[in-house]
């Protein structure tokens, strides 16, 4: 295919298609992230443990313990579902 024989202005269509594909990929990635709890603001509390109690306010420590408990429950549910799926 000889690119010189194509009509003027054909490259804009290449850019439009590339832009549309990028937007579609971004939407798909954001939907995946939303469905897989990737936008969880409380994830920052999972780096703390009992040894960090003196470095945190009582409210933050309580929040970190609640988040950790919820995360472990979610983990157990996920592992149980995975075990049932593998049977």
Give me the mean pLDDT over the 22-46 stretch: 90
Rounded Cα gap, residues 36 and 9, in angstroms: 42
Give me the mean pLDDT over the 37-51 stretch: 82
Token pair 């295919």: residue = 1
What does each C-alpha distance from 61 to 34, 38, 72 come to in angstroms? 26, 22, 16
What are the extents of the domains in the chain? 43-87
- The number of C-alpha atoms within 13 Å of 59 and in the hemisphere containing its C-beta is 0
pTM of full prediction above 0.85: no
With CA atoms as reference, report the closest residue to 47 among 73, 67, 76.
67
Rounded Cα gap, residues 79 and 35, in angstroms: 17
Q: What is the pLDDT of residue 1?
A: 62
């Amino acid at each position: 295919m000889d690119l010189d024989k194509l009509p003027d202005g054909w490259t804009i269509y290449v850019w439009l298609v590339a832009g549309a594909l990028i937007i579609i990929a971004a939407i798909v990635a954001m939907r995946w992230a939303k469905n897989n709890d990737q936008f969880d603001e409380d994830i920052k509390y999972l780096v703390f443990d009992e040894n960090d109690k003196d470095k945190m306010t009582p409210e933050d420590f309580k929040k970190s313990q609640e988040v950790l408990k919820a995360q472990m429950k979610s983990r157990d549910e996920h592992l149980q579902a995975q075990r049932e799926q593998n049977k």
